[in-house]
């Protein structure tokens, strides 16, 4: 059964109640019902990568993450995932988390309700059918969302995830500038925005070779977004 046919009023009510409990507990940094950063005193951060998988750039990033024993969260685009299922499988097998970044990288804030539903569900259905994997996190492309996007996402069991540190790697920023942005702004609970699919020259992988060991030397641990969220519940 496709995700579009699984909505129930009861499930939606339960999810809204859970969301309200999290907000009232002050566990996360919220804008409406959207998570952008964990309120966390521990030195833990979550690396996230948008728009992939890319046939060359994503494997390079995976190799670096494996070298340093780091797990990350990949917000994949459905059509890219379908074009490179072997990379998605490699991400899952390595213990990384896969999030929903829509099927065709649509700016959901500007889409009508039916298109929002199709974009989220097409990705959801593909991941279930191909990998028996149910994503729990949605990152709207561009970080653009509205109440309708949040309402539908929550009804499907998704948490909507933004970020607290933008590396601006998408703007073809140099590796040094990417590294400086992270190292100068990082704090416990941060969700760091990177990309593993950038048109043209990209310096994300090179920056990671600097950032990961330096953050580890500073006492930081790397976790997935779901693990970061779970820490605030303890």
- Reply yes or no on whether 50 is catalytic: yes
Q: Is residue 29 flagged as an active site residue?
A: no
User: Are 154 and 148 contacting, i.e. CB atoms less than 8 angstroms apart?
Assistant: no
DSSP letter (8 states) at residue 164: S
| Alpha helices (H) in the chain, listed in sequence order | 9-25, 57-67, 78-83, 85-93, 113-131, 147-155, 175-185, 204-217, 225-231
Burial of residue 147 (CB within 10 Å: 0-12, 13-18, 19+) is: exposed
Could you tell me which of 71, 134, 72, 123 has the C-alpha nearest to residue 101? 123
Ranges of residues in the chain whose predicted pLDDT is under 50? 5-32
Per-residue pLDDT tens digits for 40-58: 668 999 999 999 999 999 9
Number of domains in the chain: 1
Q: 202 and 173 in contact (C-beta within 8 Å)?
A: no
Provide the whole-model pTM: 0.86
Residue span of the structural domain in which 23 resides: 3-231
Q: How far is CA 100 from CA 82, 92, 167, 213, in A?
A: 13, 14, 20, 28
54, 101, 195, 203: the active-site residue: 195
| CATH code, domain with 72 | 3.20.20.370
């Amino acid at each position: 059964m496709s995700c579009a046919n699984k909505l129930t009023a009861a499930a939606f009510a339960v999810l809204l109640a859970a969301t309200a409990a999290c907000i009232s507990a002050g566990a996360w940094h919220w804008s409406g019902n959207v998570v952008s950063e964990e309120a966390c005193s521990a030195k833990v951060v979550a690396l996230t990568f948008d728009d992939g998988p890319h046939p060359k750039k994503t494997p390079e990033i995976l190799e670096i993450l494996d070298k340093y024993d780091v797990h990350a969260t990949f917000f994949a685009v459905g059509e890219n995932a379908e074009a490179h299922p072997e990379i998605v499988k490699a991400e899952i097998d390595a213990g990384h988390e896969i999030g929903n970044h829509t099927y065709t990288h649509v700016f959901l804030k500007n889409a009508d309700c039916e298109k929002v539903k199709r974009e989220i569900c097409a990705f959801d259905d593909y991941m279930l059918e191909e990998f028996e994997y149910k994503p729990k996190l949605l990152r709207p492309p561009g970080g653009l969302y509205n109440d309708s996007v949040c309402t539908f996402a929550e009804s499907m069991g998704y948490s909507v995830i933004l970020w607290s540190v933008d590396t601006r790697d998408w703007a073809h920023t140099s590796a040094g500038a990417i590294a400086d942005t992270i190292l100068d702004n990082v704090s416990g609970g941060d969700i760091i925005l990177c990309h593993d699919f950038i048109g043209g020259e990209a310096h994300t992988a090179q920056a990671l070779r600097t950032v990961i060991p330096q953050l580890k030397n500073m006492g930081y641990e790397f976790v997935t977004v779901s693990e970061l969220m779970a820490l605030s519940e303890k």
